[in-house]
Structure 1
Amino acid sequence: MEHTDAPQSERPIYTAPRTEIAQEQGRFRTYFNFPGRMVPGHDDHGYGPLATVVESFMDPGTLIRMHQHRNEEIISWVPEGVMRHDDREGNELVTDPEHLLVMNAGRGFWHAEETHGSDPPLRMLQCFVRPHSLDLDPKLQHEPISEPTQNAWRHLFGPEGSDAPLGVRNDIHCYDARLDADTSVTLPTRPGWHTYCYVFDGSTEVGDEAVGETESALVTADEAATVTAAEDSVVVAFDINPDAPVTRQGTIGR
């Protein structure tokens, strides 16, 4: 956790080490990153529409039985391996590096997750977004995503109705980037919005702050920060409207 008492106006970049908030369930393990806890005095574990980013591990031959989510948008990002989804609507889907899954749970959506015994060990991110309103219609999006371009941001999802490939029901955009060592990119941002980034692999500097694997940075400055890779790295970035109206009744994210 960031150890500083400086007010936000004097500390535009906050950093946090790998979270210690974890659930160990044998073959299924989750680590909860709460961006709001990075800011001293912030009264919310989430940050605007972004409730939490969960690093999830599933061993081969793991089944997460059918369960319900309500009033949250769950995005499954799988950079390697496969995550198998089925639900009460009859969908049987495989999410992998070529596909993104967005479950807009709304007033209720039941699903299960699985890896087969022949699948590789799975490490992925599941991102929980707070919708702007309660009890929206549930729906599911499972779409191919573009091939990543090295040393550039790839747009993954954004507000419903925007030009993003997949949509969520609040003001947040998400991107990923695969960076070669000693290359830099500018974090995506919009006027008045803030950017949270998570280093999935590798080691980086965000502005002047060192941010390594499984560590996070939150940029609240008006000007965009630069991400520089100290070694080959994979980074996921969330551009967030911190003043967006949010609901806080999600099954997990809240």
Structure 2
Amino acid sequence: MFDMIRAGDRGVANHGWLSSRHTFSFGHYYDPRRIGFSDLRVINDDRVAPGQGFGRHPHNDMEIFSYVLEGALEHQDSMGTGSVIRPGDVQIMSAGTGVTHSEFNHSQDEPVHFLQIWIVPAVAGAEPRYQQRHFAPEEKRGRLRLILSPDGRDGSLEIRQDARVYAGLFDGAERAVLELPADRHAYVHVARGAVELNGDRLAEGDGVRVRGGGRLEFANGADAEVLVFDLRPHELPQMT
């Protein structure tokens, strides 16, 4: 079963230096119908002004990953990690027992556009860790490239949950298919551009909740970048 969340129906936050769109309830935006989906808790579509960002703040027991679409994002954390994340990079911070971090626009001249995504972990109180890897465009062109998985297979980064995340780039005649078992849910997010999912046209910011598995076919993209979350078959995030 497909259930669409259109881009225009997302929560909105505008703080001057930050323009954000919330797929699920976050901050001052609350919708009881959208508290998350399976273990996926947050998809924030953030645009940060030059030289601005999120000051140091704490997290615990959350898998947090950033996916940069344009510009460069500068990361610092209490584990001693410092990095700059650019398009094609995937960064995941497993907060575990607790970590503080900051995320700033690395540029003084250009905005940065990125997705911040939270997934509830399978276990609480794990040791914090940080991972980052670059996935070149050709790895995602016309296919769904595994970027996060529980076991780090095929060069993906490891996530502490029974979840798999794929990234794909689609334009013109390029197409790809993902077959999901009947005992899985999925969430599809169009990060930019437009694409057809099983014949339905999706635009930038649109999302689809998929229940009960099935065939996901992506086609007829127009400069599209897509994330697909293969998730456990329950409705709302829960720690087990």
Q: TM-score, normalised by structure 1?
A: 0.81
Q: Give me the whole-angstrom Cα distance separating, in 1, the residues matched to 2:113 and 2:83.
A: 17
Equivalent position amino acid for 1:26 in 2: G
Check 1:21–1:185 CA distance in 2 against 1; reply closer, same or farther (3 A cut): same
The alignment status of 1:151 with 2:130, answered yes or no, reads no
Check 1:189–1:96 CA distance in 2 against 1; reply closer, same or farther (3 A cut): farther
Q: Report the alpha carbon displacement of residue 217 of structure 1 after superposing the two structures with TM.
A: 1.3
The RMSD of aligned alpha carbons is 2.6
1:48 paired residue among 20, 38, 46:
38
Q: Report the alpha carbon displacement of residue 221 of structure 1 after superposing the two structures with TM.
A: 4.3
Asked if the contact 2:38/2:235 (under 8 Å) is kept, the reply is yes
2:4 paired residue among 5, 15, 34:
15
The alignment status of 1:227 with 2:215, answered yes or no, reads no
Equivalent position amino acid for 2:56 in 1: M
Structure 1 regions of 5+ residues with no counterpart?
1-11, 36-41, 250-254
Structure 2 regions of 5+ residues with no counterpart?
26-31
The alignment status of 1:128 with 2:118, answered yes or no, reads yes
Counterparts in 2 of 1:1-254, with a 5 A limit? 12-18=1-7, 19-34=9-24, 45-118=35-108, 120-149=110-139, 150-160=141-151, 162-163=153-154, 165-187=156-178, 189-243=180-234, 247=238
Report how many residues are paired: 232
Asked if the contact 1:187/1:195 (under 8 Å) is kept, the reply is no
Q: Report the alpha carbon displacement of residue 194 of structure 1 after superposing the two structures with TM.
A: 1.9
Check 1:224–1:170 CA distance in 2 against 1; reply closer, same or farther (3 A cut): same
Q: Give me the whole-angstrom Cα distance separating, in 1, the residues matched to 2:6 and 2:134.
A: 32
Asked if the contact 2:150/2:161 (under 8 Å) is kept, the reply is yes
Equivalent position amino acid for 2:190 in 1: V
Check 1:245–1:29 CA distance in 2 against 1; reply closer, same or farther (3 A cut): closer
Q: Report the alpha carbon displacement of residue 146 of structure 1 after superposing the two structures with TM.
A: 4.3
Give the structure with the larger strand fraction. Answer: 2
Asked if the contact 1:16/1:215 (under 8 Å) is kept, the reply is yes
Check 1:16–1:98 CA distance in 2 against 1; reply closer, same or farther (3 A cut): closer
Q: Report the alpha carbon displacement of residue 22 of structure 1 after superposing the two structures with TM.
A: 2.3
Asked if the contact 1:99/1:142 (under 8 Å) is kept, the reply is yes
Q: TM-score, normalised by structure 2?
A: 0.86
Three-state SS of the structure 1 residue aligned to 2:61 is: coil
Q: Report the alpha carbon displacement of residue 223 of structure 1 after superposing the two structures with TM.
A: 2.3
Q: Report the alpha carbon displacement of residue 181 of structure 1 after superposing the two structures with TM.
A: 2.1
Equivalent position amino acid for 1:13 in 2: F
Check 1:248–1:222 CA distance in 2 against 1; reply closer, same or farther (3 A cut): closer
What are the superposed Cα offsets for residues 78-130 of structure 1, whole Å, 9 maximum, x if unpaired?
13321000112322101112422101001211001111443521111111000
What are the superposed Cα offsets for residues 123-146 of structure 1, whole Å, 9 maximum, x if unpaired?
111110001122221111123334
Q: Give me the whole-angstrom Cα distance separating, in 1, the residues matched to 2:37 and 2:224.
A: 24
Three-state SS of the structure 1 residue aligned to 2:222 is: coil
